[in-house]
Amino acid sequence: MAKYQVGPEKMPEKLHWFKWEAYSTWLTGSALLIWMYYFNAQAYLVDPRVMELTSLQAVGVGVGGILLGVVVYEGLMRSPLGRNTLLFSGALIAFGALFFYGFTHLFSGRGAFIHMGALIGSIMVNNVFHKIIPGQRKMVAQVAAGESVDPAPGLEGKRRSIHNNYFTLPVIFLMISNHYPMVYQHAHSWLVGMLILVISAYIRHYFNLKHSGEKKPFVMFSGAAAMFALAVVISWQATEQMHMAKSNARDAAPASATVTASLNADQHIAQQIIEQRCSQCHSATPTDDIFKVAPSGAVFDSWQDINRWKSRIIARAVDSADMPFLNKTQMTDEERQQLKQALSALN
C-alpha cells in the first residue's frame, strides 16, 4: 500500500473506505449499553452505597457524561493545547482522570468502567465521522477534479487517527473490565483504571515504533513490568479490603437480623437458599476456592442486597439456570422455583 503526503496523481478505480468498522462497533456497543445497563439500571448501573439514584437519573447522568466528555475532548483538540503533543497528552490524562473519578463516584464499579469505555469509544467514532472520513473525501474529490490538494483536512485526520490508535488498547480493556472485579471494586478504582489506560497506551507505543522500523523492546518490557507491579499492588489491597469487609459484616449483623425478622415465610426460604447456595461467592467475604471477590460485584449479604439484585438472580439462577457456577453448591430445581416465587413477589 502506497502512502502519499497529500494524495496520488490518479485515484484507483476501486476505493475502499475503512469507516464501518468504527461505526458498527459503536452502534452495537451502544445497543448493548442501553440493553444491559439502561434497561436494568438498578441492577447494573446504580449502587446505593455510592450514590442513591433513580434509574432515570442514572441513565441521564450516563448519557450526559458521555456527551460532555466528547465535547470537552473536541474543545481540547481545537484549543492551542491540541497543537502541542506533550501538553495535550497531559491535559488528556487529566481529563480522563477527572471523568473516571466522577463516574466511579456516581455509578457502580461496573457501570463506571463501562461508561468510561463508552466515552472513549464515542470520541473515537466522532473522530472518524467528523474529521477523518470527511477530510479523506475532500482530498479524493480534489484529486479526482485535478485540483491542488489542501493538506490541512488530511493532516487533521492523521492527528485524530493517531489518537484513535493509542486509544485502542485502553478501550479494549474497558470493554472487558467487567470480568475483573478486583479492578472495578477497588477502593481507588478510578486511579487503578487510569493507570491501566496509561500503561496500555504506552505499550501500544511499542507496536507503533516497531511498525515504523524502530525496535525498542525496553518500551514493551517496562510497560509489562509496570502492569505486573500494578497487579501485585491491587491483589494486596484486595486482601486488606477483604479483612475490613469481614469486620464490617460482624458490626452489621444485628441490623441484618432485624431485617430478617420482618420477612415472610417464602422470603425466609429464599434467603436461606441464597445463604447456602450463593453466598460462597456472592459475599463481601467469599469463601469459594476460586472466586476471592464477588463476581460482577453482586453481593447478597443482606435482604436489601438480594432485593436489589432480584431480577439478575431470577435470570441467572432460575431462567438460564447457569448459576451457581457449575452448580458447585448443588442447587436443586425445587430451590430455583422457590427463589423465583419469593423474589417475583417483591416490589
pLDDT at 252: 46
3-state secondary structure string across the chain? CCCCCCCCCCCCCCCCCCCHHHHHHHHHHHHHHHHHHHCCHHHHCCCCCCCCCCHHHHHHHHHHHHHHHHHHHHHHHHCHHHHCHHHHHHHHHHHHHHHHHHHHCCCCHHHHHHHHHHHHHHHHHHHHHHHHHHHHHHHHHHHHCCCCCCHHHHHHHHHHHHHHHHHHHHHHHHHHHHHCHHHHCCCCHHHHHHHHHHHHHHHHHHHHHHHCCCCCHHHHHHHHHHHHHHHHHHHHHHHHHHHHHHHHHHHHHHHHHHHHHCCCHHHHHHHHHHHHHCCCCCCCCCCCCCCCCCHHHCCCCCHHHHHHCHHHHHHHHHHCCCCCHHHCCCCCHHHHHHHHHHHHCCC
- Collect contacts of 178-182 with beta carbons under 8 A, ≥24 apart: 178/110, 178/113, 178/114, 178/296, 181/109, 181/293, 181/294, 181/295, 181/296, 181/297, 182/234, 182/235, 182/238, 182/292, 182/293
Cell numbers for 186, please give them.
477497588
| pLDDT confidence of residue 259 | 47
Per-residue confidence of the chain (347 residues) as pLDDT tens digits?
445 555 556 655 555 567 788 899 999 999 999 999 999 888 789 888 899 899 999 999 999 999 999 999 999 999 998 889 899 999 999 999 999 999 999 999 999 999 999 999 999 999 999 998 888 888 878 877 778 888 888 888 889 999 999 999 999 999 999 888 889 988 899 999 999 999 999 999 999 999 888 889 999 999 999 999 999 988 876 555 554 444 444 444 444 444 455 567 778 888 889 999 998 989 888 888 887 778 877 888 888 888 888 888 888 888 888 888 888 899 999 989 988 888 888 76
Tell me what pLDDT residue 258 has. 46
CA neighbor of 5 nearest in space, from 96, 170, 131, 139 = 139
> 330: which residues sit within 8 A by CB, 6+ positions away?
277
pLDDT at 288: 85
Q: Is the pTM of this model over 0.85?
A: no
Fill in the amino acid letter for 90.
G
CA-CA distance, 289 to 157, in Å (whole number)?
51
User: Tell me, what's the pLDDT at 261?
Assistant: 52
C-alpha cell at 286: 467469599
